[in-house]
Structure 1
């Protein structure tokens, strides 16, 4: 039979926004305990008094703060936004792989062209600047197009290698944007880059959210 603490912990994990608010100390524990009381009783199969849930929440809150993002080091991180981007998704086949690889022959990366190709188990995602969209259509002709999206922007976060070993860095970014109702269409990551594909209408606001978030810890640089 699960304990009250186990059930409360499970509920918080299923509702990350509440867990995030606990980490920030924004939650009224008493009201939350009463809010969860009926659900907790259903899980443990018996009547549970609100004070027991309250104690479990306080323990969870302490754990969230101790394991949270307070000690993350943001020094050396940089943020940039690139607009005028579109995305194409194709079914992954040998022909599609070869065609996608050939796109690198027609782009001028040194001149600022945008091209990101990601290979999943079943799909290929191609993200390019809008001026190269026609080239994608030509190179990928005959391949199964699953979806396409235009009017996108890339929000690029660059960071030092030591960030990789810091628990919570990436979730901090995605949670901050989710708190502000900003949808992430896709993500791209490498060793020292985390790129978020967003609707262009959200790009400026997303940039401001992350700049404000990072500036709490240190002065963040801005890439040109």
Structure 2
């Protein structure tokens, strides 16, 4: 049988911003207990007093060093170059047996064009191609026999060089996503390699997104 404490923990884990505020002691326990009263009551299928929820909140132990790990801070401070590329398009195609062949033709086509941005990701059911908009006509022609699921233009990519040990540091991506979310910036696409991280945003918010990411280092 679920307890009030278990319900409170489940709700907090689902809301990392709230959990972080709680870990920093910058939240009003009484007001939060009032906010959680209805969801906890629904989970337990019976009325729950706010006093019991407040007691569960005070006993809750958030993850240690949530965003305050010295190692995480060192990695953020050592983030590398930030590069912005504009005038990009994002094509989404349904996966097929011939899609990779079409993809290989694109690679041959842009091989000698160093100024063309290109990224390809393959999921279980669909694949994305992010490319400089100057190549849109070529993509449409080369993939004319494929099923186009979506096309988004007027996008920009912000790429960040990451330190070599970034994969062993907990919370790095969370810090990036958190700052962007706090500023109300929606991410259209995310692409990453081992030591490089790229977010795709609409052109109208690229300056704001760049500023947010640049401030991470300070």
Q: State the alpha-carbon separation in 1 of the partners of residues 205 and 84 from structure 2.
A: 11
Deviations 1:148-183 (A, max 9, x none): 010001111210121111111112211221222111
The alignment status of 1:2 with 2:2, answered yes or no, reads yes
RMSD between superposed Cα atoms in Å: 2.0
Deviations 1:106-144 (A, max 9, x none): 114772310111111111211101111122112212211
Q: 2:195 aligns with which of 189, 192, 196?
A: 192
CA change 1:70–1:109 in 2 (3 A) is: farther
CA change 1:137–1:45 in 2 (3 A) is: closer
Match of 2:67 in 1: 69
Quick check: 205-214 or 139-148, which moved more? 205-214
Q: TM-score, normalised by structure 1?
A: 0.86
Q: 1:91 aligns with which of 69, 88, 94?
A: 94
**Count of residue correspondences:** 213
Structure 1 gap ranges (5+): 216-224
Secondary structure of the residue that 2:98 maps to in structure 1? Answer: helix
The alignment status of 1:209 with 2:212, answered yes or no, reads yes
Quick check: 206-215 or 155-164, which moved more? 206-215
Structure 2 gap ranges (5+): none
CA change 1:85–1:109 in 2 (3 A) is: farther
Deviation of 1:13 after TM superposition, in Å, equals 2.2
Quick check: 11-20 or 178-187, which moved more? 11-20
Deviation of 1:204 after TM superposition, in Å, equals 1.0
Q: Which runs of 4+ in 1 moved over 6 A?
A: none
Secondary structure of the residue that 1:94 maps to in structure 2? Answer: coil
Deviations 1:178-211 (A, max 9, x none): 2221111111111111111111111111111122
> What pairs with 1:32-51 in structure 2 (closer than 5 Å)?
32-51=32-51
Match of 1:16 in 2: 16
> What pairs with 1:49-198 in structure 2 (closer than 5 Å)?
49-60=49-60, 62-64=61-63, 66-71=64-69, 72=72, 73-78=75-80, 79-108=82-111, 111-198=114-201
Q: State the alpha-carbon separation in 2 of the partners of residues 157 and 55 from structure 1.
A: 43
CA change 1:143–1:42 in 2 (3 A) is: closer
